[in-house]
Structure 1
Amino acid sequence: MRIPIIRLISIQLWKQSLQNRAVIFLLLILSALFVFAAYTGWKDYKVQEDIRIKHQAEVRHQWEEKPDKHPHRMAHYGYLIFRARYPLSFFDYGLERYMGNSVFLEAHKQNTVNFSEAGFSSGMLRFGEVSTAMILQTLIPLFIFFLGFSCISAERENNTLKVLLSQGVRWKELLAGKILGLLYLVGMVFMPVMLLSVVMWLFLSGFKFNITEFLRLLLIGGTYFLYFFIVCSICVMVSAVSRTSRSSLIKLIGLWLLFIVIIPRTAQAFGGYLHPAPSKIDFDTKVENELVKTGDSHDPNDIYYKGIKDSLLQAYKVETVEELPFNYSGYIMAEGEKISSGIYNRHWARQLEIYDEQNSVNHSLSFINPFQAVRDLSMALTGSDFNSYVSYQGQVESYRYQLAQLMNKLQMENISNKKLKENEKPYTISRDHWKELPDFKYQYLSQTALFQNEMASVLSLLVWALGLLVVLHFMSKKIKVS
Structure 2
Amino acid sequence: MNSIKNIIAVEWKNIIRTKTAMVLIGVFAVLLLFSAFIGIENKVEQNSIRHKYQEQVHDHYVNQPDRNPHRVSHYGYLVFRERPALSFFEFGIESFAGNSIFLEAHRQNTVNLSEAGFSNGMLRFGELSMALILQLLVPLFIFFIGYGTLADLKSNGVLKIMLAQGVSAKKLILGKTLGIFSFTTAVFIGALLLIFTIAFAVYPEELTAAVLMRSIFAVGLYTAYFFICSWVTVLISAKSSRGGTALISLIVMWMLCGIILPKMAQNVGQVIFPSISKLEFETHIAEDLEQIGDSHDPEDAYYNTFKAETLAEYGVDDVKDLPFNYVGHLMAEGERITTQLYRAHFDELIDTYDKQNSIAAYLSFVDPYLMLRNLSMAVTGTDMAHYLDFQKQTEAYRYEQTQYFNELHKNEIEAEQSGTQRLDNSRFKERETFQYTKRGLFWALSNQLTTLLALLFWVILIGLSFSFGFKKINL
- Which deviates the most, 358-367 or 29-38? 358-367
2:213·2:441 contact (CA, 8 Å) conserved in 1? no
Q: Which amino acid aligns with 1:104?
A: F
Deviation at 1:447, TM superposition (A): 2.8
1:86·1:383 contact (CA, 8 Å) conserved in 2? yes
Deviation at 1:362, TM superposition (A): 1.4
Taking the TM superposition and a 5 Å limit, the aligned residue runs for 1:292-371 are 292-371=290-369
- The match for 1:263 among 261, 264, 272 is 261
1:87·1:205 contact (CA, 8 Å) conserved in 2? no
1:438 matches 2:432: yes
- Which deviates the most, 453-462 or 30-39? 453-462
Taking the TM superposition and a 5 Å limit, the aligned residue runs for 1:13-52 are 13-52=11-50
Matches of 1:477 and 1:306, distance apart in 2:
81
Taking the TM superposition and a 5 Å limit, the aligned residue runs for 1:13-412 are 13-187=11-185, 188-206=187-205, 209-412=207-410
Shift of the 469–90 alpha-carbon distance from structure 1 to 2, 3 Å rule, reads same
Give a deviation string over 1:430-455, Cα, whole Å, max 9, x none: 00011122111111223332222112
Q: Which amino acid aligns with 2:424?
A: S
Deviation at 1:61, TM superposition (A): 0.6
Matches of 1:24 and 1:419, distance apart in 2:
79
Give a deviation string over 1:407-462, Cα, whole Å, max 9, x none: 10111121001258xxxx92100000111221111112233322221122222122
1:447 matches 2:445: no
- Which deviates the most, 361-370 or 166-175? 166-175
Matches of 1:277 and 1:322, distance apart in 2:
47
Give a deviation string over 1:44-78, Cα, whole Å, max 9, x none: 11001111111111111100000000000111111
Q: Which amino acid aligns with 2:302?
A: Y
Matches of 1:81 and 1:48, distance apart in 2:
14
Q: Which amino acid aligns with 1:355?
A: Y
- Which deviates the most, 409-418 or 439-448? 439-448
2:169·2:472 contact (CA, 8 Å) conserved in 1? no
Q: Which amino acid aligns with 1:49?
A: N
1:477 matches 2:468: no
Mark the runs of 5 or more structure 2 residues left unpaired by the alignment: none
Matches of 1:49 and 1:100, distance apart in 2:
13
Q: Which amino acid aligns with 1:88?
A: L
Matches of 1:27 and 1:314, distance apart in 2:
79
Give a deviation string over 1:235-276, Cα, whole Å, max 9, x none: 001001100111100100011011101111111111111111
Matches of 2:403 and 2:385, distance apart in 1:
27
- Which deviates the most, 308-317 or 20-29? 308-317
Matches of 1:198 and 1:305, distance apart in 2:
61
Deviation at 1:379, TM superposition (A): 0.3
2:135·2:373 contact (CA, 8 Å) conserved in 1? yes
Matches of 1:296 and 1:84, distance apart in 2:
37
| TM-score between both structures, scaled by the size of structure 1 | 0.95
1:227·1:461 contact (CA, 8 Å) conserved in 2? no
Deviation at 1:301, TM superposition (A): 4.6
Matches of 2:321 and 2:203, distance apart in 1:
58
Matches of 2:201 and 2:359, distance apart in 1:
37
* Identity over aligned pairs, percent: 39
Q: Which amino acid aligns with 2:425?
A: R
Deviation at 1:123, TM superposition (A): 2.2
Deviation at 1:204, TM superposition (A): 3.0
What SS does the aligned partner of 1:104 have?
strand
Matches of 2:431 and 2:3, distance apart in 1:
68
Number of equivalenced pairs = 474
Deviation at 1:465, TM superposition (A): 2.4
2:94·2:382 contact (CA, 8 Å) conserved in 1? yes
What SS does the aligned partner of 2:434 have?
coil
